[in-house]
Amino acid sequence: MINKVFAQTRGKLTLWYALVMGVILLFASGIFLKVVQDGQIQAVDHSLQTLVSTFAGQEGVEHLDERNFTLSKPHPDIREDFQQTSLAFARHYDNQGKLLWEREQKEEDDNKEAPVAVQGKPKLGFGTIEGGEERYRQLTVQTPEGILQIGLSLEEADVVFKKVLLGLLVTVPLLQGVIGLAAWLLAGRAMVPIRQSYERLQQFTADASHELRTPVATILTTAQSAVQTEQLTPQQSQAKFTAIVETAQRMGALTNDLLWLARADRLDAVEQPKLERCSLKTILSDLYEELAPQAEAKKLKFTCQLPETDPIVQGYEDQLYRLFTNLMVNAIKYTQPEGKVEIHLTQTINQAEIKVCDSGVGISAQHLPLLFERFYRVDESRTQSAGGTGLGLAIAKQIVETHQGEITVRSTPQVGSTFTVHLPIV
């Protein structure tokens, strides 16, 4: 089902991309054709101008007023030399528009016909006319002796234009095919992060329901066995209720963590609560005092080293409390009795470094890259009994990222772990 949705989305993306690129391609091809055609016509026009000027004498160019198409010098009668020119036709009218003479290029094997001369006074300037199977470009100028009209065939220009058009007709569909393929590949790449985040979400939901199902089952079986047992001794009922309370507590902690993560995801996307000035020294010493009894119960050597200065983080105090609680509680939890847990706070120019070191069970290298994933646990049985939710480090990472910081871990099994947090300070 979901694969179908992804495939459809990819198809749609491809189609849109190919469509937009196709329109751009067609538009560009049109412009290119127009430029080629205009260039050809301009070249022919230039030849016509040069020819008219040549007829009027060497320095004729200066005698042609290009705006009014008027030749200030009389033009010679070119009837004799006409065959030697490249002209397709030449005509001479008097000022009333009466055709005085006309010449056409005639070759023996050629049955083409020049366009027929129009009746009446011809319009001055350039023009394109159709004649037989060919197109012609003509130039009409006013001379002191009347009106001179000469024309050149556009055959060559049209051949070039047709070649370019043919080239485009072949390359444009080919290019469109390549674009379609590229679009398909690009759309595939664009889908990768979407698919990944979808799969992560699905995994998270599955993990969360699994995590919640286990304590519910525990509570249910414990309660059921209590109901079914006819006579419970006070010790037995005490044990059963304790088990139920502990499991319910774990469930409570888990739902709290889940809720927190869900809210953090949403906060990231929609609202940005106001930042506060948070004193790391205050947070760490508060937590140190709060957790000291737990450490003492395990006979741990628990120390906290704070600097003279007080590094201030622009952020959210409740989140920072949660971040360091998670790290410190883990350190205490995963260290055997009589081990060591140390907290260090140091400050550089623009950041604070917080280290939580323990001499605990450690984590082997293969688990380190996945440690901050939601619900990831190194040793399922051990941590279940330690009462963890598997979300503590995921939450810690999320908080550090919200504060534009960085969290890293170094660990050696049976030697200990060090979690290091870097936070930018004001």
| Phi-psi label, residue 167: left if phi above 0, alpha if psi -120 to 50, beta otherwise | alpha
Q: Do strands 406-412 and 351-358 pair parallel, antiparallel, or not at all (unpaired)?
A: unpaired
Could you tell me which residues are beta bridge partners of residue 305?
344
> What's the first-to-final CA gap in the chain, in angstroms?
50
Q: Which is nearer to ligand ADP, 389 or 398 (CB)?
A: 389
Nearer to ligand ADP, 283 or 358 (CB): 358
**What's the CA gap between 383 and 394, in Å, rounded?**
15
CB of 390 to ligand ADP, least distance (A): 4
Quote the CA–CA distance of 180 and 19 in Å, as a whole number. 9
Q: In angstroms, what CA-CA distances link 105 with 47, 50, 108, 113, 153? A: 17, 19, 10, 9, 10
CB of 11 to ligand ADP, least distance (A): 40
CA gap 316, 279 in Å, rounded: 11
413: Cβ contacts below 8 Å, ≥ 6 apart: 361, 362, 363, 364
Least distance (Å) between residue 378 CB and ligand ADP? 3
The structure tokens listed for 70 are 């008027």
Q: Within 138-233, where are the H helices?
A: 155-228
Q: Which residue is nearest to ligand ADP (CB)?
A: 388
CB of 280 to ligand ADP, least distance (A): 20
Q: Strand 340-347 and strand 301-305: pairing? A: parallel
366 DSSP assignment: G
CB of 314 to ligand ADP, least distance (A): 26
User: Which C-beta is closer to ligand ADP: that of 70 or that of 384?
Assistant: 384
Query: What residues contact residue 397 under an 8 Å CB cut-off, 6+ apart?
Result: 372, 407
Which residue type does 73 have?
K
Indicate the residue among 85 and 384 with the shorter CB distance to ligand ADP.
384
Please state the closest distance from residue 407 (CB atom) to ligand ADP, in A: 12
Closest to 188 (Cα-Cα) out of 21, 22, 14: 14
Q: Which is nearer to ligand ADP, 13 or 409 (CB)?
A: 409
Give the interface with ligand ADP as residue ranges (CB under 6 A). 326, 330-331, 334, 358, 360-363, 371, 376-379, 383, 388-394, 417
Residue 289 CB, shortest distance to ligand ADP, in Å, is: 20
- The CB-of-416 to ligand ADP minimum distance in angstroms stands at 7
Question: What's the gap between Cα 244 and its chain centre?
Answer: 51
Which residue, 336 or 348, is less far from ligand ADP as judged by CB?
336
Q: Which residue, 60 or 392, has its beta carbon nearer to ligand ADP?
A: 392
Q: Residue 74 or residue 413: which is nearer to ligand ADP going by CB?
A: 413
The rounded distance, in Å, linking the Cα atoms of 106 and 111 is: 8
CB-nearer residue toward ligand ADP: 14 or 330: 330
CB 192 within 8 A of CB 6: no
How near is the Cβ of 392 to ligand ADP at its closest, in Å? 3
